[in-house]
Structure 1
Amino acid sequence: MELRITENIRKKDHKKAIQFAIDGMHFHWYFNNNFFLNLYGKYFWYSEMLKATQILAVYADEEFAGVLLAGVKGEKRKYHSFWKSLYVKAFEAMQHLLAKDSAGEYERVNNEMFEDYCKKNNPDGEIVFLAANPDIKIKGIGTMLLEEFERREKGKKVYLYTDDACTYQFYDHRGFERAGEKDIVMDLGYKKMNLKCFLYSKEIK
């Protein structure tokens, strides 16, 4: 099966990318309703796409195999959509109205880690999303995407947020430094969930 990297993602594969996010980041842990789970999956994907100055996708023959999104200073954003921007703003307003304090807890902790990180670092960009298709039995897709991104961004310092609901260990083995770590309790109304949040950093050489 031939693997190739493209600088964009086919329109028909956006739904698959949303599902990668839902499954890989375990969004179902936070929602007990599939309708809201899917709404959140769209919100997450649209918000990350709208930040991206680098969109890299891997295809195995013609099958969508993985994607990396990153935002780098001084580069133009790759994706623009008035309606998706409106969706993101509307969802954020609804989330803060319904979830109140818990909606902003994750963001607050990430902001705290970033502020501490920036006291000694001046990052050039952020990797906002990286995922591989779990249905394709080919190893190394995530590594392939990361290596292509690093080839394009040599000399840059980048960071990313993740947590222990994801396979954060991937970054431990690829030259990233764990630059921040905080524990939070997510109060979801119907349950409380302990979560460990991380900020990883790497200077690309």
Structure 2
Amino acid sequence: MVIQIKELNKKDYEITRKFSIEGMDIRRYSNRPYEIYFYSNFFFLFELLRATQILAAYDNDNLVGVLMVQMKNEPTKINSICCKIQFLFFKFMLLFMFSGAGAEYQEANEKMYNEYLKTNEPDGELSFFVVDPKLQGKGIGSLLLNELQKIEKGKKIYLYTDSGCNYQFYDHKNFIKEQVKEIEMKIHNNIIPLTCFLYSKIL
């Protein structure tokens, strides 16, 4: 396997979305395929449209991983009217289907961020990070992170993650676990316990 880091090809947007389903363990929130479809589209498009760096890992022409960050004072990479319209559509559908579900998660992230800001001045957020689920542990995530470090060397980034994701990766990469919050998410008739984390690192 020979990995190259380059721009994300538009034809691979759908593959990236599917990677996010496994990477974020979206199925823990719902077992309804149409809800998983709408949520993964919303999340992918939200992060795509605000990303200032989008790094994609390819094995030949096959996408195997994607990393996105939102850095201060840098222009966004994507300014597609089509993507913006799609995002608004999926946002509307989520409001209709989930009706306030997940507010606990957002509130926990806001509290952690506010505490973090008391002693830190970050330069940006690592907002999207997925690897082909079939290739976990092959060093693809490390290659993407190393490439980001070359581009944004010396800058401080933070990220949100939780116990449903592979948060241990950040421990192994010497990120600092800045904040931790225990929550219970209420989605439909289910209660989902989660530990939320805010990590940071100087690249």
- TM-score band by shorter chain is over 0.9
1:53 and 1:77 in contact (8 A); partners too: yes
Further displaced range: 80-89 or 108-117: 80-89
Partner of 1:104: 103
Q: Which amino acid aligns with 1:4?
A: Q
State the Cα distance separating 1:90 from its structure 2 match. Answer: 4.1
Q: RMSD over aligned Cα, in angstroms? A: 1.6
The change in CA–CA distance for 1:134 and 1:97 in structure 2 (over 3 A counts) is closer
Corresponding residue of 1:44: 43
**Which blocks of at least 5 consecutive residues in structure 1 are unaligned?**
none
| Distance across 2 between alignment mates of 1:76 and 1:190 | 41
Matched, 1:2 2:16: no
- Aligned-residue identity in percent: 39
Structure 1 residue 98, shift from structure 2 partner: 4.3
**Is residue 183–residue 194 contact of structure 1 (8 Å, CA) maintained in 2?**
yes
Give 1:65 shift: 1.1
C-alpha contact 1:96 1:103 (8 A) present in aligned 2: no
Aligned pairs, number: 203
| Partner Cα distance (1:37, 1:137) in 2 | 21
Report whether the alignment pairs 1:150 with 2:149.
Answer: yes
Report the CA distance shift for 1:180/1:111 in structure 2 as closer, same or farther (over 3 A): same
Aligned equivalents of 1:110, 1:29: Cα separation in 2? 19
Aligned-partner residue type, residue 154 of structure 2: G
- For residues 68-87 of structure 1, the aligned pairs below 5 Å read 68-87=67-86
**Structure 1: how far apart are the matches of 2:137 and 2:163?**
24
Residues 36, 175 of structure 1: alpha-carbon distance in 2 compared, 3 angstrom cutoff: same
SS in 2 for 1:184: strand
Which residue pairs with 1:169 in the alignment? 168
Is the 1:96–1:104 contact (alpha carbons within 8 Å) kept by the matching residues of 2? no
Q: In the alignment, does 2:10 pair up with 1:11? A: yes
Residue 101 (structure 1) shift: 3.9
- Farther-moved stretch of structure 1 (10-19 vs 88-97): 88-97
TM-score normalised per structure 2: 0.94
SS at match of 2:197: strand
TM-score (norm 1): 0.93
Question: Runs of 4 or more off by more than 4 Å in structure 1?
Answer: none
The AA in structure 2 aligned to 1:88 is F
Whole-Å separation in 2 of the counterparts to 1:96 and 1:109: 19
